[in-house]
Structure 1
C-alpha cells in the first residue's frame, strides 16, 4: 500500500483506527526512521472547524515533552489530508495487555500507574486535560515503558461522532460521574479515569458493565466499586484506598490533583496496616427531589399514596395519648406563650403550603440544560413542557461551543418555566479562530495555512539574521482571537 505523504512519509500498513482518524505505520524517508502517522478522516477534513481544532490541539500535544507521553514530531497537511507524525511505540495497548494476561501483579500495576500519572501530571501543568483516558489510549513497550497517546484529540469528538456503540461503551467505562451529568471535564475527571484504569489493572476487568451506555453511566453515578480485596485478598488496603479516593463520587473527597495520587502510589506499599478509606455523608439530610407533575398522579403512584395514608392513620391512633399530654401542657402556658406558638405554627404551615404548591402545581417545571445541544435536540427535549421556542434566535461567537450548538437559553437552566412560556435560544455561529505562532516557520507554509483559515496574507520582507524565507514577525499575536465570520480579515 505504498504511498508518500508530504513527499517524506511513506505509509507501510494500517495499524489502528479510531472515531476520527486512521493510524499507519510509516517511514520517515529523510531521517530514515520508523514513525506512526495519524490521518484525519476524509469526511471530517472537509469541515473547517474540525481542521482548525485538529491543528491547534495537535500543536498543543506537540508541546508536551515527557518520557511517558507519545512524542509528536510533525503536524501538517498534504492534498487535503491532515496528519500528525508521532513516535512509533512498538508493543501493545494496555487494554490488549489486560485482555491477554488478566489481572496484573500489584507491583507491576503500581509501576505502570506511576508512569501514566507522571505523564498526566506534566499535561495538567500545561493546562491540558486528556478527557479520554482509558487502557486503549495507553501504549506499553515490551520493556514495560508506558506511554499515553491521543492528547487533546479526544476532545474533538462531538456528539455526532460518538454514536457508534463501541465508541460509547469503550469510553463510558471510565467516565466520571460529573461528566455523565453533563458537566465540564476537569483534572479531577482525568483522575477518576485513572482510578478506573488502576482498578482494571488489579482486577483484570472494569468495575461496571451493563447492557446499555445509560446503565453503565448510572452505575458510575450511584454505585460503589466492587471490592478489590474480595477479589484478591493479597492486595494491600493502602493500594485499594488509592482507587477509592481517585474514584470518589464527591469531588471534595477525590484527589484534587494527580500529584497527590502519585505520592500515594510511591508510598502505598510501605503502609501495610492502613485502614479502609470510607467517606462519611450526612445521611439525615434528605436530597431535593424534583417531581414530574404529569406522572405524579398515575395509578401506580396513587396506590403508593393510599398505602402511605393508611400508615399515617395508624401512627395517628398510636400518638393520640401523646397528643393529649401536649394539649394539657399547652393549656397551662400563659397567653403570650400561647400566641407565639400559634403564630409560629401558622407561619410554618403557610410556608409549607406554598412550597408544596410550587413543587406540584401541574403547569410548572424546571428549565432543562440545553447548552451544547442543537436546535432539533432542544425542540425534542422541550416537547413535554408545552413551551414555544422563539423564532428570534440570537447568534454569537463562542469559545466553547461549535457552530449550531446552544450557548445559553432564556429562561436560564434550572429556572421555573410553565406551559405556554416562550424560550429564547442563543446559538453559536462558530468558534473564534485562535491564531497560531508562525514565527520560525517557512513563509510559504505559513501563508498556505493562513489562507485556509480565510486570511488575506500580506508579506513584507526585511533583512534579518534568520534563514531566508523564515517568518520573523506576525501582525496578530499568538493565541489572539479572530472572528471567523469577518470576511476582510488579514494578517501581515
Structure 2
C-alpha cells in the first residue's frame, strides 16, 4: 500500500495521537496505527475522509453512533476510546487489534472446518447480541469487519457507524460488490435494517466459511442484488458435500428472504448455533471441506494483506534482556598482588585464590538476590479462560498458585467454564499468590411464578418482583376462576426465562351473563332488567326513528344474544317513533312500475292480483297520505 503521499503520517493529531502507519482505506474513512502520547499505548485511529467531514449532518451522526458504541462494553467488540476533531480531520480512537481479518483467513485457507467456523461465528453473534439488546444494529456485517487477534480473540469492528454511510461507501464496483454480498433483501428493497438484517449477513458469512464462496455471486452488483431479492441462499452442502444437515438448517434459517422467518436477533441465532454444535459429532465438526486450501505455512502468512497487520516487534524484549539481574552484579575484583612467580607454572599464593573465590561468591550472591527480588519470587498467571472450573483450578495449582472462585451469570460462556481471572492471563504474581477465577453460571434465568387465581394487579407485582415484565392481558370467560383473577400465563408457571422477558397474562371475565332483550320496553323497565342481570346501563341522548313506539327502547348495544361479563355496559337508544313518509299515487300504473316506486319511497309492497291483469286499480294507502317508513302497502292489480 503506497503511503508516501499521506499527509497524516508522522502527524500528531489533536496534540495527542501520533500517526505511525496507514492500515486500511475504506469508503468512509482511513484507518491508521497510532500512539496515544499521553497514555503511551498503541491504538487504531479512524479518520473520516475530508469530503465527508464537510457534511455537518454526516459528522453529527458519526459522532452520535460513536458515543453509542463507546457505551457498548463487550469483550468481542472493538472498543472506542475517544472521538475528536482537529481542523478538517474528524477521528475516532479505537482499540488496536494485532492480527488479521476473517477475510484474510478465508483468502489464505479457503473453506473452514465446521468447528473453526463456529468458533468464529459464536463470539461474533455474542457481540452482535449485546449490541441488539442495547438497541444497536451493525448493518454491515462481513468478513472484513471480523478481526481475529494473534491471541485468538474474535472481535467485531465498525459497530453502528455504517448507518451513516451513503453512496460514498460504494464509489467503485469492487467495494460495492463486497458490501452487497451481505445485504438482506429488505435493505435492498426498502432501505430498512433491523436486527434480522444482521442475522441475514451472519448467515451469509457462515455459508462462506463453510464453502469458501459467497452464496450469491454475479458479474455486477446489480446481478447480486437481484439474486438476494429473488433467490434463496442454497444450503452449504449443495456446494460443499459433507456439511452436516444441522449447519444447513442454521444457514437456511438465518438467510430466509422473509425476515419474519429468521431468528429475531443475534441472541436467538447464537442459541441456534450452539444447539447445532451440540448435535454434531467430532467427525462432523472436524470434517475438511472440499474447497479448503492446503496450509501454506508461516512464510505465506507474512506476505498476506491484512486490515489489521501483525505488530512490529518492539524493543521490549531487548530491554528486558538488558535488565536481567546478571548485569546488576558487581564485576569481579582483581586478586591482590603477590610475589612474582619464581618459575613458570607456579601456583598463586593460597590467600589470592581465597580472595578470588570470595569475590565470585559475592557477585553470584548479589545477582541471585537481585534476581529473586525482581523475578524469582514471581510467576506468570497461566491462561484458563473457557476451561471448566476443576481443570482451571488444577492448572493454577500446578503453577503454585492458590485459587478463589466466584460465580457470575454469562450469556456467552457455558455454565461451569471460566469467564475471567484476576490477575489476568500472563500477569506477574507472587509464587504463592491467589488468583480469583470467575466461573459462569450460564445465562441468568428466572422462573415464571404460578399466578393462577391472583388478582391482576397482584399478578403484575409478582412478575415484576420475579424480574419479569408484565405483558399483554387477554380476557376470557371462565366458570372456574373469579372475575378479574388470572387463569394462566404464557409462558406457563415454572418455565425459565431471562430477566425482563414479557409474560402474557390471561384473566377471567367470570361466567358469561346473558343480557335480556329490552327493545320496546320503557327506559325505566329496561334499566331495571339489565341491572338485575349485573350489567351497567347507559342511555343515549340522541334518538332514532324506529318501528318501536316513541320513548321506548329502539336499540341496545351489545345485542341481547351477545354474552357479556358481569359489570359490562349496555347502551340503550330510544325511539322517536316510526318515520312518516308520503305514499306515492300508483293507481293506473303497471304492477312492476308501482312496486318499484313504492320500494324507492321506503315501503314494502304486497301485490294482490285479480284475474290476469297488470294494472293497479287500488292501493291500501291512498296516494298523498303518510304512512310509517318500512310499513307494507298493498296494491291490487287486474
TM-score by length of 1: 0.54
Give 1 or 2: higher strand fraction: 2
Q: Partners in 1 of 2:270 and 2:72 — Cα distance?
A: 19
Query: Is structure 2 residue 177 aligned with structure 1 residue 204?
Result: no
Q: Partners in 2 of 1:79 and 1:183 — Cα distance?
A: 33
Cα deviation for residue 26 of structure 1 reads: 0.5
Deviations 1:244-265 (A, max 9, x none): 1000112222111222211111
Select the structure with the greater relative contact order (CA < 8 A; seq sep ≥ 6): 1
Cα deviation for residue 227 of structure 1 reads: 3.3
Residue 50 of structure 1 is matched in structure 2 by: 58
Cα deviation for residue 171 of structure 1 reads: 0.7
What is the aligned counterpart of 1:134 among 115, 137, 142?
142
Query: Is structure 2 residue 125 aligned with structure 1 residue 94?
Result: no
Residue 17 of structure 1 is matched in structure 2 by: 25
TM-score by length of 2: 0.42
What is the aligned counterpart of 2:190 among 182, 189, 202?
182
Residue 29 of structure 1 is matched in structure 2 by: 37
Q: Partners in 1 of 2:192 and 2:81 — Cα distance?
A: 30
User: Which secondary structure state, in structure 2, belongs to the residue aligned with residue 19 of structure 1?
Assistant: coil
Q: Partners in 2 of 1:213 and 1:9 — Cα distance?
A: 38
Question: 1:32-181 alignment to 2 at 5 Å?
Answer: 32-181=40-189
Contact 2:143 2:205 in 1 (8 A): yes
Q: Partners in 2 of 1:108 and 1:11 — Cα distance?
A: 35
Cα deviation for residue 194 of structure 1 reads: 0.6
Deviations 1:28-62 (A, max 9, x none): 11111111001111111112111111111111111
Cα deviation for residue 233 of structure 1 reads: 3.4
Deviations 1:67-125 (A, max 9, x none): 11001111111123111000000111111110111001100100110000000001111
Q: Partners in 2 of 1:256 and 1:211 — Cα distance?
A: 32
Deviations 1:235-286 (A, max 9, x none): 221112111100011222211122221111112133259xxxxxxxxxxxxx
Q: Partners in 1 of 2:62 and 2:259 — Cα distance?
A: 31
User: Which secondary structure state, in structure 1, belongs to the residue aligned with residue 197 of structure 2?
Assistant: helix
Deviations 1:345-377 (A, max 9, x none): xxxxxxxxxxxxxxxxxxxxxxxxxxxxxxxxx
Contact 1:199 1:243 in 2 (8 A): yes
User: Which secondary structure state, in structure 2, belongs to the residue aligned with residue 199 of structure 1?
Assistant: helix
Contact 1:236 1:269 in 2 (8 A): no
Distance 1:270 1:46, change over 3 A: closer
Identify unmatched segments of 5+ residues in structure 2: 1-8, 282-638
Cα deviation for residue 232 of structure 1 reads: 3.2
Residue 272 of structure 2 is matched in structure 1 by: 264
Cα deviation for residue 173 of structure 1 reads: 0.4
Cα deviation for residue 145 of structure 1 reads: 1.4
Structure 1 runs of 4+ aligned residues shifted over 4 Å read none
Distance 1:181 1:49, change over 3 A: same
Q: Partners in 1 of 2:35 and 2:171 — Cα distance?
A: 33
Deviations 1:412-467 (A, max 9, x none): xxxxxxxxxxxxxxxxxxxxxxxxxxxxxxxxxxxxxxxxxxxxxxxxxxxxxxxx
Question: 1:53-452 alignment to 2 at 5 Å?
Answer: 53-272=61-280
Q: Partners in 2 of 1:161 and 1:106 — Cα distance?
A: 32
Contact 2:27 2:168 in 1 (8 A): no
Deviations 1:118-144 (A, max 9, x none): 000011111111111111111111232
Residue 2 of structure 1 is matched in structure 2 by: 10
Q: Partners in 2 of 1:187 and 1:210 — Cα distance?
A: 26
Q: How many residues align?
A: 273
Residue 493 of structure 2 is matched in structure 1 by: none
Q: Partners in 2 of 1:221 and 1:45 — Cα distance?
A: 34
User: Which secondary structure state, in structure 1, belongs to the residue aligned with residue 190 of structure 2?
Assistant: coil
Q: Partners in 2 of 1:45 and 1:230 — Cα distance?
A: 46
Give 1 or 2: higher helix fraction: 1
Q: Partners in 2 of 1:205 and 1:143 — Cα distance?
A: 27
Q: Partners in 2 of 1:74 and 1:34 — Cα distance?
A: 13
Cα deviation for residue 160 of structure 1 reads: 4.7
Q: Partners in 2 of 1:4 and 1:63 — Cα distance?
A: 26
Residue 325 of structure 1 is matched in structure 2 by: none
User: Which secondary structure state, in structure 1, belongs to the residue aligned with residue 122 of structure 2?
Assistant: helix
User: Which secondary structure state, in structure 1, belongs to the residue aligned with residue 155 of structure 2?
Assistant: strand
